[in-house]
Amino acid sequence: MTTAGAPVKVMGILNVTPDSFSDGGQFNQLDQALRRAEQLVADGAAYLDIGGESTRPGAPAVSTEEELDRVIPVIERLRQELAIPLSIDTSKAEVMRAAVAAGVTMINDVRALREEGALAAVAASEVEVCLMHMQGEPRTMQQSPVYEDVVGDVKAFLLERVNACTGAGIDRDRIYLDPGFGFGKTIRHNYELLQRLQALHELQLPLLVGISRKSMLGQVTGRDVSERLPAGLAAATIAAMKGAHIIRVHDVRETVDAMKIVAATLAGEFN
């Protein structure tokens, strides 16, 4: 359980994959991304996470060129127009370097800097980094995930990645950890991780958690992706009560309200 500390921050997801903005035309897409970003800021986001590579189970890989073309113009435009810290959801060193040059505050890597050159790219910068746990690769990770002890295994993996970071010259004060809900995990694994989220505090680093609209919500409620918000708010609230520092979501406005209730409860202002 957490103590009353800084309020939990909400990270808004800004997808810039082609399917998220239907018709082509780069200027049109940039304007749409900016409008969506402005809305997320107005809704109370503390970070925007920009993703150009679909990490969904079974998704095709995206080339470096394609990913750069999708995300860099968006980062540059948002950096010009908005003051909010930006995060880039990528695993590629080249995209990391270009995103840092374009002004991101955080690298959010579902592969925890295991790709060639990624550790060095972050070490050469001053940005924050989120190290996420994933078993396997997006294309096949949901086929038959196996753990000895999911919490222990995730913790051991994250510790190894923290050590790889510090060994490469990335200070601990720049690192966030994420158990990677839905990334090579069964429903049981996901709920055991949520139930025992506090165990990850033993690594003594802030936690980032992403559960928004994921199948672990659909499997319990029977709801389709578009109807998972109430379940997502319950999961975000539980993660916050267990001491998560940043919650990564699609529905920022509603999640910020939920986090205000958590903060009011923990601060005891009205008791």
Residues designated catalytic = 214, 248
> Residues interacting with ligand 7PM, by CB under 6 A?
13, 54-56, 89, 108, 110, 130, 132, 178, 180-181, 208, 210, 214, 248
Question: Closer CB to ligand 7PM, residue 114 or residue 264?
Answer: 114
Task: Using CB positions, name the residue nearest to ligand 7PM.
Answer: 210
Question: Closer CB to ligand 7PM, residue 50 or residue 208?
Answer: 208
Q: Identify the residue whose tokens are 């109370």.
A: 44
Dig out the tokens for 211 from the structure: 């559960």
d(CA 240, CA 265): 11
Q: What is the helix (H) or strand (E) element at residue 175, kind and residue range?
A: strand 175-178
- Minimum distance from CB of 8 to ligand 7PM (Å)? 15
d(CA 88, CA 72): 10
Question: Closer CB to ligand 7PM, residue 130 or residue 235?
Answer: 130
- Minimum distance from CB of 122 to ligand 7PM (Å)? 14
- Minimum distance from CB of 44 to ligand 7PM (Å)? 19
Question: Closer CB to ligand 7PM, residue 180 or residue 266?
Answer: 180
Question: Closer CB to ligand 7PM, residue 20 or residue 32?
Answer: 20
- Cα 255 from chain centroid (whole Å): 15
d(CA 129, CA 113): 9
- Minimum distance from CB of 210 to ligand 7PM (Å)? 3
Dig out the tokens for 90 from the structure: 């990528």
CB-based contact 97:121 (threshold 8 Å) = yes
For residue 195, give the nearest of 205, 209, 212, 184 by alpha carbon: 209
- Minimum distance from CB of 130 to ligand 7PM (Å)? 5
Q: Identify the residue whose tokens are 């002004």.
A: 103
Dig out the tokens for 131 from the structure: 């190290």
